[in-house]
Amino acid sequence: MFAVLTDVTVIFFDLLIYSMIFKLKRDTPLYRAFMYGGCGIILLFYFVGVYLWDIPASLAAAVFMTVPSFLLFWALSRHKGSRFLLTFCFVDTVSLIVAFIGRYAGILFRGGAVGAFFVVLTLFSILLAAGYRRLRAYHVLLDTVDSGWGTMAFSAVLIYFALIFFAVYPKPMIQRPEYAPCWLTFAAVVLACYAVFLQSIRKTLHIQKQNERLEREKHLYQLVYLDALTGLYNRAAYVERVNMLERERGTDAVCCVMLDCNHFKQINDRFGHHAGDMVLRRSADALRAVFSETTEHLFRIGGDEFSVILPGCPPERAEALLAVLAAELERASAEQGMPISIAAGHACTRPGESIEDAFIRADANMYQNKAALNCQTVRALS
């Protein structure tokens, strides 16, 4: 009687864990009825096959338990493929190990079928009590982690069949209890492998959450520090970058460039605001192309005003870059069929002078050049 109870208990807990660990495709009363009804039919056929039809327990477990339960939960589970295979093999492996420990304990301590039944019942109860809180975490892994399941599922299937093979070949392990310690050692290694698998998936989830958090932070950073129209850094980023350079530059000179679009109001009035937006975008593209080595120091600080910070750049180099900018804007002006020009002024920090003071001088130079339309004015007229 207790031998029957032991077998039925193993299958019952196996199916119970399946029903808890697999999330249904649709969590409805109909799907739950199919699941519980299918589990009941599996239990019934196993009992009939072993105790009425005299089918060997190992064969009955495969025919009436493993295959039907696999098909049942495959059909009802939300997760398919590698996730399902890994989970199914893990649960069935644990049940197989618990069943063997129960039977081996019954032989070892001469408790027979009674001892095996109570050992199996105790072990499954402990597993459920310890693992119930972790089911929700595992459901999160199934739902959110996309990578890493395939290789682990393949390994899990190999381990699962190896464990069964060693348990039944050349004859059932229960008939050669002297080899049980070796088999249990192998089973312990198997469980350790599963622990590594699950820990790897948890780390993958942790990395995935970190990446998602970084993406959110990147999005917030773009909202706070990037100009939506031109893609350049905005005034808030400009102030922060100036303060950072002020703390870190030491005695190195910093070249500050101020730029302002010429005739911007007339372009808006004549061609419309969409044309003005286009001029700003083309001007920003030209700045990125010319100052490609220092794009983190390009800023749109006002409506049609831009600034560039060039750490360690001599005035001659700044003038050469502005000349290249003039040629770039000439091409843009010819392509767009409207005047696109920028007045520029630059100044390098003097000993003991702050970057902000240098920008004030550069701004004054820029407006002087803008008024005179000579010297360092960068023009590109259509």
Q: Which residue, among 286, 264, 248, has the nearest Cα to 338 in the 3D structure?
A: 264
Whole-structure pTM value: 0.54
Tell me how far apart the alpha carbons of residues 326 and 321 are, in angstroms, rounded to a whole number. 9
Per the CB < 8 A criterion, the answer to whether 218 and 285 are in contact is: no
Of the listed ranges 101-115, 203-217, 335-349, the least confidently predicted one is: 101-115
- Per-residue pLDDT band for 373 (boundaries 50, 70, 90) equals low
Please give the residue that has the higher pLDDT: either 169 or 313: 313
Termini Cα distance of the chain: 100
Question: Is the pLDDT reported for residue 379 higher than 60?
Answer: no
Question: Is the pLDDT reported for residue 326 higher than 50?
Answer: yes
**In the predicted model, what is the mean pLDDT of residues 343-370?**
89
Of the listed ranges 114-128, 131-145, 339-353, 363-377, the least confidently predicted one is: 363-377
Q: Which residue, among 299, 297, 271, 270, has the nearest Cα to 283 in the 3D structure?
A: 299
Please give the residue that has the higher pLDDT: either 166 or 365: 365
**In the predicted model, what is the mean pLDDT of residues 219-247?**
88
Q: Which residue, among 203, 96, 207, has the nearest Cα to 152 in the 3D structure?
A: 203
- The most confident of the ranges 113-117, 248-252, 312-316 is 312-316
Question: Is the pLDDT reported for residue 185 higher than 90?
Answer: no
- 3-state SS, residue 376: coil
Average pLDDT of the chain?
Answer: 83
pLDDT reported for residue 246: 87
Residue 40 sits at the vertex; the CA angle it makes with 37 and 45, to the nearest 5 degrees, is 125
* Residue 348 phi, psi dihedral angles, 5° rounding: -105, 145
Q: Which residue, among 267, 289, 380, has the nearest Cα to 329 in the 3D structure?
A: 380
- 3-state SS, residue 251: coil
Share of the chain above pLDDT 90, in %: 20
Whether the CA torsion 114, 116, 120, 122 is positive or negative: it is: positive
- Per-residue pLDDT band for 109 (boundaries 50, 70, 90) equals low
Task: Assign 3-class secondary structure to 301-342.
Answer: CCCCEEEEEEECCCHHHHHHHHHHHHHHHHHHHHHHCCCCCE
Q: Which residues of 46-80 are buried (b: 16+ CB within 10 A; e: fewer)?
A: bbebbeeeebebeebbeebbbebbbebbeebbebe
